[in-house]
Amino acid sequence: MTNSPTLWALVPAAGAGRRMGAGIPKQYLPLAGKTVLQITLDKLHAVPGIEGMVVALAEDDVHFSTLKYSGAVAQVIGGVERADSVYQGLLWLQAQGRDDDWVLVHDAARPCVRVENIQRLIATATAENCGAILATPVADTLKKASAMHIEHTVNREYLWAAHTPQMFRVGQLREALAHALSAQVPVTDEASAIEHAGGRVLLVADSRDNIKITQPEDLGLAEQILQQQIAGST
C-alpha cells in the first residue's frame, strides 16, 4: 500500500425495496439487459481512481452470487437500516486501509449516475480536503402538509436534493455514523451523520437524471435515461 490515501466505493445493497411491490429486492430487478445493481457497480468500476469496492448485502441474499460485473467486489453483511449497512462496510474498510482513506458511498438504486459527475465530486473533495456530495437545487414548489392539507409553501431558495455518491474520509464517516447510531439520531444519508457531528460538507452540482429507483415507474424512466446516456457517448 502506498502512502497516498486509497479511494474506495461502498454500496449499501441490503434493502428489501418493499415500495416497489416486486418479489425480489429492487436492486436485482432487470434493467437494460442487466440488473439495477449490476449497472450501478459497472458505473463505479468505470470511475478512474477507485481502487476497491465493497457491497453490503442482506444476510439471506441469494441473488448477488449470480451477478456478472466488471472488477472485484468485496462483500459484507449489512444491517436493517441503510446506515447500519454503511457502518458495516466502513468497519471492513477500516481493516483494509487507513482512516484518512476516502470512501464514496453510493446507493445501489442509482444506476443512472454519470461517471463525469463522480469525477467532479472526487476532484472537489480532494482539492478542498472536505466531504462532499452530489446534489441538485430543488426545482418544484414545496408544500408543508398535514393530513393531506397544505399548511404553507416552503421557500426553496436554499434547498437542494441530496444524491449519491457522497464522499468522506473513512475514519470521519465511521465515527460520525457510530455517534449518530448510538444517539438514535435518524440518518438518511452520510452527510446527515457528518452534519450531526458538526462537520462541513460541500455541494457538487449533479445532473437531474441521477434518479433513485423507488417506485415501479422509475424503472422505465431509468431505462430511457440509460439509453440516452449511451446514445450521447457514442
pLDDT at 1: 43
Q: What is the per-residue pLDDT for 22? A: 64
Which residue has cell 418544484?
140
Q: Give the pLDDT mean for 133-161.
A: 94
Q: Which domain holds residue 174?
A: 7-233
Element (H, E) at 203: strand 201-205
R_g over Cα of the chain: 18
Q: What percent of the chain has pLDDT over 70?
A: 96
Q: How far apart are CA 171 and CA 160, in angstroms?
A: 26
From the list 12, 175, 210, 13, the residue with the least C-alpha distance to 94 is: 175
What's the half-sphere exposure (Cβ side, CA atoms, 13 Å) at 213? Answer: 39
Look at residue 18 in the predicted model and tell me its pLDDT: 67
1 inside domain: no
Mean pLDDT in the chain?
A: 94
Residue 124 resides in a domain = yes
pLDDT of residue 68: 86
Domain membership of residue 65 (yes or no) is yes
Backbone φ, ψ for residue 24 (5° rounding): -130, 160
Tell me, what CATH number does 42's domain have? Answer: 3.90.550.10
- Residue-wise pLDDT tens digits, 173-212: 999 999 999 999 999 999 999 999 999 999 999 999 999 9
Whole-model pTM: value is: 0.94
What pLDDT sits at residue 21?
61
Per-residue pLDDT, 232:
82
Residues 34-87: pLDDT tens digits?
A: 999 999 999 999 999 999 999 999 999 999 999 987 788 999 999 989 999 999
* pLDDT score, position 147: 87
**What's the whole-number mean pLDDT along residues 212-217?**
94
Strand partners, 162: 135
- Mean per-residue pLDDT, 117-146: 96
User: How many domains does the chain divide into?
Assistant: 1
The reported pLDDT for the residue numbered 4 is 84
The 3-state secondary structure of 78-116 reads CCCCHHHHHHHHHHHHHHHCCCCCEEEECCCCCCCCCHH
Q: Cα–Cα distance between 141 and 3 in angstroms, integer?
A: 48
Checking if the pLDDT of 23 tops 90, the result is no
Contact 180, 197 (CB under 8 A): yes
pLDDT of residue 231: 87
